[in-house]
Amino acid sequence: MAHLLMVESWVGSMSRLLPRAIREEGHEFTFLTRDLHHYLRSAPEGTAHPLLAARNVLTTDTNDVEALLPFVQRAHESLGFDGVITSCDYYLPTAARIAGRLGLPGPAPEAVENACRKDATRRILAEAGVPGPRFAVCGDWAETAAAARDLGYPLVLKPVDLCAGMFVRRVDDEPALAHAYRALAGFPVNARGQRRSPVVLLEELLEGPEVSVETVTHGGTTHVVGVTDKSVGGAPAFIETGHMFPAALSPADTEAAERTALHALKALGLDACVAHTEIKLTPGGPRLVEVNPRPAGNRITELVRHVTGIDLAAAGVAVALGRAPDLRRADTGLTSAAIAFLVPDGDGVLAAVDGADEVRAAAGVLEVRLPEPGTAVRAAASNNEYLGHIMAGDADGPGARDRVETLLAGLRPRVVTR
């Protein structure tokens, strides 16, 4: 039995999948957080949050890394940790720093920091020759407006240190750019109380389907688990509305996406991690969007598990302990699996979701998650405002996406405006 230190977590599915993987592998964990109530509030009423299955819960300021390191060192001397892990993007660099301080397995802290900063990622990958969009890193409005004129519209404006598509916007002219810039500037602190960088990233708009390459790197070798597709809506935002694994691509496109991801991971120097690398398949070839040094979100890890039997959460636990991950494929009976998200387009209070019973009873359904009546609804501006999702599989081919989209069309949320 190994003992992991889990530094914060997302409050979504990975806050359940990671504790499950630790438990099923026969290990235990200590949970380290600055605000336990942040997680308790997300647990369904009448249930205990899986993070409370921790052997210990330690509370300290996880945002003050310099003070945190000696605190964790003392905890390690008393409790004895074998690895450090997190599912939350905002604490990936912290977890890497802690592992380095304690002499435990993990990716190089600098590599993780560069992967978690979109501006650093762009510079490093450009220098390494990894294909990506033309871009500019801008420190203020004057630089941003000038860079936009040089790059030419349409463009994408991005924060360099947020995730889940927050404040990522397509801009077609300078007024739209100014609006997006002001909205981002009005969000100086992220959801975990960390002060954001005022730097923004401008990129040329890439055309073509987007996919992600799911990989596991251990001992300097990267294993490609597969390629996932993505559907996007909510313009001018970029909201992920669904995924299918494996992506229905030609062998040539699959190989090109995988090759680009491997090139990017090598250029960043990432090892001992599960990664989720996003790529656009443009008419001019694959272009790197971003590299995430952690398992995919949006239940993609579950799509992978339903099709291949590979548990990417468990793989993340293994590499955090310096152990070879189990990437053996199993016959699951499914050829493809897909998820579709119910994306709200207005504000109000949910009265009901009509059609839910019929969808739950439909053939091929793997999972249906819908909120209870009375839930507050907010028009989606990122991947953080989903109203629910449907997951389904196909045993005979790449039909899972069509299946979930048909099922999603049968859901009719009734939202009462305030």
Does the pLDDT at position 291 exceed 80? yes
Percent of the chain predicted with pLDDT > 90: 92
Q: Choose between 52 and 220: higher pLDDT.
A: 220
As a whole number of angstroms, the distance between CA 58 and CA 399 comes to 46
As a whole number of angstroms, the distance between CA 387 and CA 276 comes to 24
Give the pLDDT mean for 74-101. Answer: 97
Give the pLDDT mean for 189-213. Answer: 96
Mapped onto helix, strand or coil, the DSSP state of residue 143 is helix
Give the pLDDT mean for 147-162. Answer: 98
Q: For position 46, what pLDDT does the model report?
A: 58
Give the pLDDT mean for 88-100. Answer: 97
Contacts for 316 with CB less than 8 Å, ≥ 6 apart? 18, 21, 85, 273, 274, 294, 295
As a whole number of angstroms, the distance between CA 262 and CA 266 comes to 6
* Dihedrals phi, psi of 201, to nearest 5 degrees: -115, 130
Q: For position 49, what pLDDT does the model report?
A: 80
**How many secondary structure helices (H) and strands (E) does the chain include?**
13, 19
- Where do we find the tokens 């300078």? 174
Which residues are bridge partners to 393 per DSSP?
Answer: 337
What is the rounded average pLDDT for all residues in the chain? 95
Give the pLDDT mean for 361-367. Answer: 95
- Where do we find the tokens 């859901």? 411
Q: For position 394, what pLDDT does the model report?
A: 97
Q: For position 38, what pLDDT does the model report?
A: 86
Contacts 24+ apart (CB under 8 A), 91-99: 91/7, 91/8, 91/62, 91/192, 92/116, 92/293, 92/294, 94/7, 94/8, 94/62, 94/65, 94/68, 95/7, 97/65, 97/69, 98/5, 98/7, 98/68, 98/69, 98/72, 99/320
Structure tokens at 328: 């053996």
Q: For position 405, what pLDDT does the model report?
A: 96
Give the pLDDT mean for 93-106. Answer: 98
Tell me: the pLDDT tens digits for 124-141? 999 999 999 999 999 999
Give the pLDDT mean for 62-90. Answer: 97
Give the pLDDT mean for 374-384. Answer: 91
Q: For position 51, what pLDDT does the model report?
A: 86
Tell me: the pLDDT tens digits for 42-70? 766 656 788 888 999 999 999 999 999 99
Q: For position 418, what pLDDT does the model report?
A: 67
Give the pLDDT mean for 312-334. Answer: 97
pTM metric for this prediction: 0.96
Does the pLDDT at position 115 exceed 90? yes
